[in-house]
Structure 1
Amino acid sequence: MLFSQDEYQAYQERLLKTKREMEKAGIEVLLINNPSNMYYLTGYDAWSFYVEQMVIVALKWEQPVWLGRQMDAAGARMTTWISHENIIGYPDDYVQSLTKHPMMFAADYLTEHGLDTAHVGLEMDAYFFSAYAYETLKTHLPNVQFKHAGLLVNKLRMIKSDYEIEHMKKAGRIVENAMYQAEQAIYPGARQCDAAAQIYSGLISGTPEYGGDYPAIVPMLPTGERTAAPHLTWSDQPFKDGELVIVEMAGCYKRYHAPLARTLSLGKPNERMVELSKIVVEGLNEALDAVKPGVTCAEVEAAWRKATSRYGIEKESRLGYSTGLSYPPDWGEHTASLRPGDQTVLQPNMTFHMIPALWFDYEGIEISETFRVTETGHEVLSNYTRDLIIKGDLDVTPVIS
């Protein structure tokens, strides 16, 4: 793949920052299994993370090494900036074998290159690094000192470049359009699965100027009493008059996400939900107003808590989290959270999904925004009405940028 000089320079700077953090942590070799971090450092982009793969960063090596399944090596050559001789494929008899494991191959590779006594950092909390993979590495590299380095690269990803922010803004436009399509597809009598299909169409089609990528999480579409649970998807049942429907999804452009959630009422909502929606929006607005460089994540959450406590509302779960570049199964960066006690200091070009959702016994409400921290405050990445969206005789027209 051909990279522009600016893109190539960005990868070099990311690699240099990674090595600096490795040195601080006393790590000589870093084994990266998180596909988001692999992409961030090399550009590797393929749906191959269901088998073992990694990027190896060694302090003494000029370039990283991509190590994965042999059939995926061609994809690594097509999508990464690293030299082809640094793309190493293991034979297919290591894949889901009862006698071999890809970490045996990785251990042999490290041994052959004199790294079998190094201080090695591992992403021990990565979704795609199993307990068996760890045990295999320990068995076949008995003289290596392993360290947990799970968030080393994740933390570097928190502050985006202007180039990355442009990707997220495009994702924000994509999710605006998809939310509009969701609003048109959701009405009494329509099947939930058909609405989900139309949402997917909007997310992947994107805009006339640019298309969308597959999001790290499927669209959430809890309906009726199921709105009391945050992570339910859809069924093949029809929507019913009088139900609430929560739509939570993310636009995705070149793996960068902009999540957005809204709540729809199919027909006239009850007074309680109307009032709750106003409280949620008031708290959301005040929390966003608190965002600026130098403020901590805990202080942003405190602004929400102060606003909603006036109405006796308490939210046990966090208010939001850092987001951006990601692969399935989620779009969070696993670093900072908007919640009490998180002393992460906001800096320009950090990006968060603020989701002040409330869930009760038989209903819930979600109205969220993805924002970036600017030099003086914040910028939301999508422009869509924050009101409770009422479908039916009281239909409202969404605000689309």
Structure 2
Amino acid sequence: MKKELHFERAEFAARLAAVKKEMAKRGIDILFLSEPPNQNYLTGYNAFSFYTPQMVIVALNHDEPIWVGRFMDRVSALMTTYLADDNIRAYPDRYVQSTLSPYDFMAGLAKELGGEKARIGVEMGGYYYSARAHADFVRALPLANFVDADLLVNWIRIVKSPAEIALMRQAGCIADAMMRRAIDEIGPGVRECDVAAAAYHQMISGTLDFGGSYSCSPPNICIGERAIAPHAHWTDEPLASSTVLNLELSGVRHRYQVPLSRTVSLGKPARSYQKLAEIAVEALNAGLESVRPGRTCSEVEAGFSQALARHGLEKEARLGYSIGVGFPPAVGERTASLRKGDETVLRPGMVFHMMPGLWLDDVGITITQSFAVTDAGHEPLTSTPRTLFVK
């Protein structure tokens, strides 16, 4: 059976060693990872199976992680991970959406690893670890000591390897292609849903050199009155001859996601709106110029905010967030944010989406830049011009 691995075994080994080091530091014997990005990061596992309970188990006394999930998804674990067959476990279908709990099965694996009375870490803040899941787990392992290990792996993932950055460059190329395709599609009378369809087609088609995949969330295509809403949806209405479109798209390569936002004015914009676009780009560039290893996220945000304040404007929401490998429902890694008060120190290999979207009372504009922190500053991961597009 062909393996679909996108990183060398040595890289997976380094990731696992870093996680085990942090586990030992916190006194965690066994770590149960419910978040699909963390499962992928440590094993390579990639399938749309996370709607049923699945875990990757890391134990200090076990060489490899253990994947456990629904029986029919075992084949995907064999195809997409480096794990030995014995470290790929599956529960029967009778546990799926029934009165039985898959966490009873998983508790049996914990006991197999000597974890009946162990200190067990779980991702309490994860999207895929419910209150019911935790209650069932605690009931099944009453002598164990459960601790919150949320974001343990996320903070290790925050610094990307050269191989990860290479995939994110490819994802950025796909994002650029998506934006070009969407802008080309825009015109008076074109249905909003057809703009979305063009973006989706390019998302999956990718480029001539490499294909893409589905994103963590649908594209945000906010049009007309909905341009003041950050996360609005498209309709099947035709575009007016004069309107504004805010497009937030994401290129994806082997689950590594790079977002890109641009605003398109269909018809000549008002001079005041053109000026707002110029201010947004000026502040975005000021924020990017503030990026240096050793500086904090808060200092980068200050560079942006000071440029914006010179024009009497301010942005309440965070300026950006860490990105990397991602699965639905969100691309953000839930770690560092480019915002006032975040004292996370920038290091080469960190990757962010700088998202200086401005949603005011009557207008909105989104011109953004995903970038990697380098030894000297930053590397843009997309090449679409930072400007207001006018058609």
TM-score by length of 2: 0.98
Percent identity of equivalent pairs? 47
2:4–2:80 contact (8 Å) kept in structure 1? no
1:172 aligns to 2:192 (yes or no)? no
1:73–1:89 contact (8 Å) kept in structure 2? yes
Name the structure 2 match of 1:246.
246
1:65 aligns to 2:104 (yes or no)? no
CA distance in 2, matches of 1:138, 1:102: 13
1:321 aligns to 2:321 (yes or no)? yes
Alignment of 1:281-300 (within 5 A): 281-300=281-300
CA distance in 1, matches of 2:274, 2:108: 62
Aligned-pair distance for 1:6?
6.3
Q: Which secondary structure state, in structure 2, belongs to the residue aligned with residue 327 of structure 1?
A: coil
Paired residue type of 1:297? C
Name the structure 1 match of 2:40.
39
2:70–2:92 contact (8 Å) kept in structure 1? yes
Aligned-pair distance for 1:101?
1.1
Paired residue type of 2:192? Q
2:295–2:345 contact (8 Å) kept in structure 1? yes
2:5–2:44 contact (8 Å) kept in structure 1? no
Paired residue type of 1:226? R
2:175–2:203 contact (8 Å) kept in structure 1? yes
Structure 1 residues 149 and 269: CA distance shift in structure 2, 3 A: same
1:222–1:233 contact (8 Å) kept in structure 2? yes
Name the structure 2 match of 1:229.
229
CA distance in 2, matches of 1:226, 1:261: 15
1:30–1:56 contact (8 Å) kept in structure 2? yes
Aligned-pair distance for 1:280?
0.5
Structure 1 residues 6 and 241: CA distance shift in structure 2, 3 A: closer
Aligned-pair distance for 1:363?
2.2
Q: Which secondary structure state, in structure 2, belongs to the residue aligned with residue 222 of structure 1?
A: strand
Name the structure 1 match of 2:356.
356
1:214 aligns to 2:202 (yes or no)? no
Alignment of 1:49-198 (within 5 A): 49-97=50-98, 99-198=99-198
1:226–1:362 contact (8 Å) kept in structure 2? no
2:59–2:113 contact (8 Å) kept in structure 1? no
Deviations 1:118-170 (A, max 9, x none): 00110111111111000101111111111111111001111111110000000
Aligned-pair distance for 1:108?
2.2
Paired residue type of 1:49? F
Stretches of 4+ aligned residues off by more than 4 angstroms: 3-6
Q: Which secondary structure state, in structure 1, belongs to the residue aligned with residue 8 of structure 2?
A: helix
1:123–1:150 contact (8 Å) kept in structure 2? yes
Q: Which secondary structure state, in structure 1, belongs to the residue aligned with residue 333 of structure 2?
A: strand
Number of residue pairs the alignment of both structures matches: 390
CA distance in 1, matches of 2:293, 2:41: 24
CA distance in 1, matches of 2:371, 2:38: 22
1:21–1:152 contact (8 Å) kept in structure 2? yes
Gapped regions of structure 2 (runs ≥ 5): none
Q: Which secondary structure state, in structure 2, belongs to the residue aligned with residue 333 of structure 1?
A: coil
